[in-house]
Structure 1
């Protein structure tokens, strides 16, 4: 089983729609997730804000559209960073791939 991810672009304003195509080979449910995650000191958090699903039995290309929320913005700080990503997986027991994106005013991550 394998998955590929192709995004139309990787920098967005909050509230914009992330579009792309998930290509999957295998059998199962293909899940495309829009998520944010933290990294740095302390507990790492993850939040899934949108999902789109489809079935694959062999080989398939699945276009997707996922809307970013207005917050949180991409942020790169000294103690913690907030990042956004699109993740594609085949369930159960399939491949997973992730592409980081930016969601911030001006399409630039904030820093202290």
Structure 2
């Protein structure tokens, strides 16, 4: 990936905190020397911390016939859960990731999904 190459995910209003069921709208932008064979946007959640990492792709949006320098709009509705949380042993986080094929170009936008619009902080066990 050259210095001028990029792949970005942005929401229309810059928000990254949402409630379950919210509609997320934004744009995926990319630039490269050659057009990618394919570009897709993935909504997923993942865990970090002790034990095995879990990851689930909830929705995938493919963008057909991508150009070398291109932008595409997206619109998706967030599921009812799981909620974003952070605890002493494990964290669950959400993200939107755009991936260009072939190669390793990717752009990631971390999200928070919870009833309060903020990451839930779990207290330590007694």
**TM-score category by the smaller chain?**
over 0.9
1:6 aligned to 6, 10, 13, which one? 10
- Structure 2 gap segments, 5+ residues each: none
- TM-score, length of structure 1 as denominator length: 0.93
Residue 31 of structure 1: aligned partner: 40
Decide which structure has greater strand share.
1
Task: Give the C-alpha shift of residue 27 in structure 1.
Answer: 2.1
Q: Which moved more, 1:26-35 or 1:80-89?
A: 26-35
How many residues align? The count is 112
2:89 aligned to 79, 84, 91, which one? 79
Instruction: Write out per-residue CA displacement over residues 70-109 of structure 1, whole angstroms, 9 at most, x where no aligned residue.
Output: 0100000111110000000111214101110100001011
- C-alpha root-mean-square deviation of aligned residues, in Å? 1.2
After the TM superposition, list the runs of 4 or more consecutive aligned residues in structure 1 that deviate by more than 6 angstroms.
none
Structure having the higher Rg: 2
1:59 aligned to 54, 65, 69, which one? 69
2:112 aligned to 95, 102, 107, which one? 102
1:17 aligned to 18, 23, 26, which one? 23
